[in-house]
Amino acid sequence: MPTITTKDGVQIFYKDWGSGQPIVFSHGWPLSADDWDSQMMFFLLKGYRVVAHDRRGHGRSSQVADGHDMDHYADDLAAVVEHLDLKDAVHVGHSTGGGEVAHYLARHGEARAKKAVLISSVPPIMVKTETNPGGLPKEVFDGLQEQVATNRTQFYRDLPSGPFYGFNRPGAKVSEGMIANWWRQGMMGGAKAHYDGIVAFSQTDFTEDLKKINIPVLVMHGDDDQIVPYADSGPLSAKLVKNGTLKTYKGFPHGMPTTEAAIINADLLAFIQS
């Protein structure tokens, strides 16, 4: 399997298909590069080079005990970009991956980047604080950590069966294949990485990161996102970046790149080509 080894000795698995302008995908918690199958095949067939990696502790990357924070996530992404010598890249991040993209651009600069897309993403900050009164209480994330630590396999069936894909909404067309694939990806990763990752995606404040981004940014968010609530995320991120565009999807769930792949892919293509 294609991997790189980071400065702290972690093996990061990646996919690198095709040629042309590179599109780099950063996945959500607790999944893997496989969660981008619909997007990678679509853009590969459109003549783009598509790249995606498994975050440390996730998928096929090393299940290390430490380094499960946004600094390491951003540095690992930078290592992949530099190893592959990617230039004029479009960075697309979903959920936690959106935080990873924002932190990467702020921490490592935009010399190799052309545009960025944040889909259902965690910035500016998820947890409720004095400066973020619209956030979710810390107890919500404590509960997620407890489930990862004690009953991960069932938790990873319940989350995609319900709020992640909006399958708990009246009239929703439930896909057992999507649920099983989510569970498969989650269980490939390490429990420690997923446990620590909850703190990384919920407590990291990306406000200053977003302010540093100069390249065009498309913020895509569903207004029925039950994982990263719309009002405290997408609109705020779009305002904080210097060149941001917000696209709101009525009724779309958190996992809309999968459930609504045709619409999301078409809008991504239009942004990339604009």
- CA distances (Å), origin 48, targets 20, 181, 257, 271: 5, 25, 18, 14
DSSP 167: T
**Angle formed by the axes of helices 138-161 and 191-203, nearest 10°:** 120
- d(C-alpha 127, C-alpha 124), whole Å: 10
Contact of 56 with 64, CB cutoff 8 Å: yes
95 flagged as catalytic? yes
72 flagged as catalytic? no
- CA distances (Å), origin 148, targets 39, 65, 164, 171: 28, 15, 16, 29
Sorted by sequence, the CB contacts under 8 Å of residue 110 that are 6+ apart come out as 213, 214, 215
Catalytic residue among 68, 94, 194, 254: 254
38 flagged as catalytic? no
- d(C-alpha 268, C-alpha 21), whole Å: 14
Q: What separation, in Å, do the N-terminal and C-terminal C-alpha atoms of the chain show?
A: 35
Tell me the helices (H) and strands (E) count for the chain, helix number first: 10, 8
Catalytic residue among 54, 196, 225, 232: 225
Contact of 36 with 52, CB cutoff 8 Å: yes
Catalytic residue among 26, 32, 61, 95: 95
Residues catalogued as catalytic: 95, 225, 254
